[in-house]
């Protein structure tokens, strides 16, 4: 089966599920998008890596990467290889000097590791057909290296727009102290809009 390369194009609060997020993957040379609902911790892990933030202590996915590097295991690629009853299944394709191994993974964890290793993300046509969304022709897909949108929807965004720059800076320090990196990114984006 032919693999289709994807890239992360957005990360936002899930509209359909409370306390969940959606990561949106886009076809690198196409107009289709694949939205996947993930948990808050995994969304934070992905956001931290995408934004090149450096927490004071390693997050779980950072620890996993450090462990793999210490033992000479490289993450070559991830493949979102199955979809059953709305649940995506993925594989980590890892290699060492002597072997290549496929490891079953939750898709959210696979994406968090892919961002850290800088490895490609793939899926198959049947998965994009059944769960993908086709963008309209006038929509320009993001190119590699373009900033990923981290969105805060609903009341959170409205609240940020009403705060002063000083209040935003204070709030940013508070959320960073609490290690709420998703909210920190939204606050930073609001501050950048005002510059």
Task: Give the count of beta carbons closer than 10 Å to the beta carbon of residue 78.
Answer: 26
Q: What CA–CA distances, in Å, run from 19 to 9, 14, 22, 23, 37? A: 20, 8, 10, 14, 10
Q: Is the overall model pTM greater than 0.85, yes or no?
A: no
pLDDT digit of tens for each residue in the chain (195 aa)? 899 999 999 888 765 566 678 898 999 988 899 989 898 889 989 998 998 888 888 889 999 999 999 999 999 999 999 999 889 999 999 999 999 999 999 999 999 999 999 999 999 999 998 888 887 654 444 433 333 444 444 434 447 888 888 888 888 878 777 766 667 767 877 887 887
**CATH superfamily assigned to domain 3-151:** Bifunctional nuclease domain (3.10.690.10)
Q: What is the dihedral of CA 91, 14, 34, 133, to 10 degrees?
A: 160
pLDDT at 56: 86
Q: What is the pLDDT of residue 141?
A: 40
Q: What is the CB-side half-sphere exposure of residue 55 using CA atoms within 13 A? A: 22
Domain boundaries, the chain: 3-151, 153-195
């Amino acid at each position: 089966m032919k693999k289709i390369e994807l890239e992360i194009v957005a990360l936002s609060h899930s509209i359909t599920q409370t306390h969940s997020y959606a990561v949106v993957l886009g076809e690198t040379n196409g107009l289709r998008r694949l939205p996947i609902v993930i948990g808050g911790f995994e969304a934070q892990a992905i956001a931290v890596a995408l934004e090149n933030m450096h927490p004071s202590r390693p997050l779980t996915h950072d620890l996993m990467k450090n462990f793999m590097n210490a033992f000479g295991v490289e993450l070559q690629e991830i493949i979102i290889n199955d979809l059953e009853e709305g649940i995506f299944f993925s594989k980590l394709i890892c290699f060492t000097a002597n072997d290549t191994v496929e490891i079953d993974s939750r898709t959210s964890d696979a994406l968090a590791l892919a961002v850290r290793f800088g490895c490609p993300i793939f899926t198959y046509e049947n998965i994009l057909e059944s769960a993908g969304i086709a963008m309209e022709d006038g929509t320009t897909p993001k190119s590699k290296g373009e900033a990923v949108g981290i969105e805060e929807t609903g009341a959170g965004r409205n609240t940020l727009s009403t705060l002063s720059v000083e209040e935003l800076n204070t709030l940013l320090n508070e959320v960073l102290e609490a290690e709420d990196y998703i909210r920190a990114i939204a606050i930073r984006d609001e501050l950048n809009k005002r510059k």
